[in-house]
Amino acid sequence: METVVWVMILLVCFNFVLKQTYRKAWMVAAISVVCALFVALTWQWAIEQSKSQLNDWLNNPALMLDTAVILSIEVIIQMAYCIMAVHLMNTGKVRRRTILVYRLLRWFPGLLIFPVLFHLETRCMFWLTGMAFTTIAYGLAIVVLLAIPALAWAIKWLIPEKELRLEVFFLSNALIAILGIIATVNGRTAVAGISEVNWGALGGMLSLMLLGGIAGFTIFRLKHNK
């Protein structure tokens, strides 16, 4: 479980930096400052955490399910940005409302990066024993402030094609969604399996599919005739 969580942390950091390649330089600088201030101002809460408490959080089903909701919202928003960007690339004239939605999705920096930064700060408190807490916090804040624009520039230099970066961003979010399911389930099953077929439920599902197909075909024929 801990390995899956660390892989998700790396993917969240990668997605956050990859999203910065679509923004202007002043926007990247502003987001870097916000992240650095978050790290520098939360050290008092980071020192109150313990390794056993962090492990208890990972093994808490209710907390993991709440985390899954936030994770799903983040992934949906980021994937919607990818789809909207592809739509604008391949469409000629678009409405102002579509452009407004695209700009809002592009401005969305991501919420998962803040708990990830807090987790990394807590781990640094455990690893760098003997150093002052403020020194660790301010040092990590400086690293975050410099690393975000530097990594964004490096990714943009390695993958100059905007379409390719967009595809990588979409696939990385899909991978986070899959790993999120694995991490939140944690060996549990939501519904117990049964050995008998519920013919009533199966018939109802097939009926809904048939009615939906007939309705869709009818609407298509009416629009085609017009």
**Mind listing the pLDDT tens digit for each residue in 2-11?**
677 778 888 8
Average pLDDT over residues 187-214: 75
Determine contact, residues 102/88, Cβ cutoff 8 Å: yes
Average pLDDT over residues 43-66: 69
- Enter the DSSP assignment of 174: H
Determine contact, residues 74/112, Cβ cutoff 8 Å: yes
Average pLDDT over residues 182-193: 55
Give dist(CA 92, CA 8) in Å, integer.
Answer: 37
- Positive/negative CA dihedral, 51, 52, 56, 58: positive
Name the average pLDDT for the chain.
82
Predicted model pTM: 0.73
Structure confidence at residue 159 (pLDDT): 87
Structure confidence at residue 147 (pLDDT): 93
Structure confidence at residue 199 (pLDDT): 81
If DSSP codes are grouped into helix, strand and coil, which group holds residue 108? coil
More confident residue, 224 or 55: 224
Structure tokens at 184: 């939140």
- Which residues, at least 6 apart from 82, have a Cβ–Cβ distance to it below 8 Å? 166, 169, 170, 173
pLDDT at 13 over 50: yes
Structure tokens at 195: 């050995």
pLDDT at 189 over 50: no
More confident residue, 218 or 102: 218
DSSP annotation string for the chain = -HHHHHHHHHHHHHHHHHHHTTS-HHHHHHHHHHHHHHHHHSHHHHTT--HHHHHHHHT-HHHHHHHHHHHHHHHHHHHHHHHHHHHHHT-SS--HHHHHHHHHHHH---STHHHHHHHHHHHHHHHSTTS-HHHHHHHHHHHHHHHHHHHHHHHHHH---HHHHHHHHHHHHHHHHHHHHHHHHTT--SS---SS--HHHHHHHHHHHHHHHHHHHHHHHHHHH-
Average pLDDT over residues 34-43: 90
Percentage of residues in the chain having pLDDT higher than 90: 18
Number of other residues whose CB lies within 10 A of the CB of residue 10: 11
What are the pLDDT digits (tens) for 112-164?
Answer: 888 889 888 888 888 887 788 888 889 999 999 999 999 999 998 998 888 88
Distances (CA, A) of 90 to 93, 164, 216: 10, 15, 26
User: Residue 123: left (phi > 0), alpha (psi -120 to 50), or beta?
Assistant: alpha
Confidence of residue 190 (pLDDT cuts 50, 70, 90): very low
Closest CA to 119 of 201, 58, 200: 58
